[in-house]
Amino acid sequence: MDRKRIVITGLGGLCGLGTDAAAIWDGLRNGRSAIGPIVQSPLHDLKTRTGAEIKELPDHGIDRKQLVSMDRFSLLAVIAAREAMRHAGLTSDETNTYRMGTVVGVGVCGWEAIEENYRAILLEGRNRAGIFTVPKVMPGAAAGQVSMNLGLRGPVFGATSACSSSNHAFATAMDQLRAGRADVMVAGGTDAPLVWGIVKAWEALRVLSPDTCRPFSADRQGLVLGEGAGMAVLETYEHAVARGATILAELAGAGMSGDASDIVAPTVEGPAAAMRACLHDAGLAPEEVDYINAHGTGTKANDQIETAAIKRVFGAHAHKLSVSSTKSMHAHCLGASGALEMIACVMAVREGLVPPTANYREADADCDLDVTPNVAKARPVRVAISNGFAFGGTNAVVAVKAA
């Protein structure tokens, strides 16, 4: 198949582990968990007060006129996108602005603004909502704000598919580049779910851990929510070479599927189908994959089902792979998770180092792959795949390989 190669030339991100991509990778490679007591957000009347917060935002210099129209999830996306563009050595101007775009994945949108308005109207007796409420809360706001801040006038839109939103954003951004609609796409995801209504809703599902996230460990008790954003600059190989860019890795392919089964309970075959489709799109044999960044939420059923799906796709090679869930460290940042996990995959390929599954304590016979417990593993990583499996059975998997 003769088609354009897509490469990654810049990374940006922030989450509980740190406020730039380098700090995030440093935390991941050292097995440091950012999960702890939530202190920044007012979470009264909740059983769960554990999460992975960004303790302090970096100095960002974003103009106040733009800030007043941004909810936190959009602000995080803009900060991450600006870092990614700086890392890639790119700026937009009149010669390239219509050839540069952005796709931003979002899971839960602008709930900070929603709650502010509920309090103002229902508790404080105000008679109207804030003037910027609609542009703050809409799921596509993050993509629009990134576009405005960076001057990107090519394809601009949001992707929302719950916890696989980032991987869908990467896949659709890659499609724009392959189709010739752009030369550069800034893609990733963002979410800021540590607000009362969102945590309360997740409590009702009875899937939140009371202490920390232990993916694949026999004593795992559930997931932990976190906030963050991650962005990657994607370019056609020809465009990157022509401008002399440093190529970090190649985004080799993507695969998507739908379970068409249950709104919350995943199947084995849906995730397996997405992994197969990703390998096919990337032109890879299963035996060529060295590392899987697992969806790995830390719930009993999800980790067991993901293990079964990996075995179904990779057969005997499944036991030669390195697997880990970095959600054990940055927590489940919903629509941002896949973008933070992209940082992990790119850096694993570049450094030959598999980040660990932190907090692991007990082996589980139903999760019997090499899950890289607690300590990073040095090994050549030519190819890494990242799994994203979401409520609704919306699955998206992306493959990264050495350029």
Strand pairing category for 50-51 and 6-15? unpaired
Rounded CA gap, 258 and 269, in Å?
A: 9
The answer to whether 285 and 258 have CB atoms below 8 angstroms apart is: no
Active-site residue list: 163, 295, 332
CA-wise closest residue to 134 among 114, 118, 152? 114
What are the backbone dihedrals phi and psi of residue 9, each rounded to the nearest 5 degrees, phi first? -120, -5
Q: Please, are residues 79 and 14 in contact by the beta-carbon 8 Å criterion?
A: yes
Chain-centroid distance, C-alpha 202? 19
Give 225's contacts (C-beta < 8 A, 6+ positions apart). 51, 52, 193, 194, 198, 199, 202, 208, 331, 332, 333, 334
DSSP state of 266: -
Beta carbons of 340 and 25 less than 8 angstroms apart: no
| Three-state DSSP class for residue 336 | helix
| Core vs surface per residue 275-295: b (16+ CB within 10 A) or e | bbbbbebbebebeebbbbbbb
- Decide the pairing of beta strands 100-106 and 184-191: parallel
71 contacts 112 by C-beta, under 8 angstroms:
yes
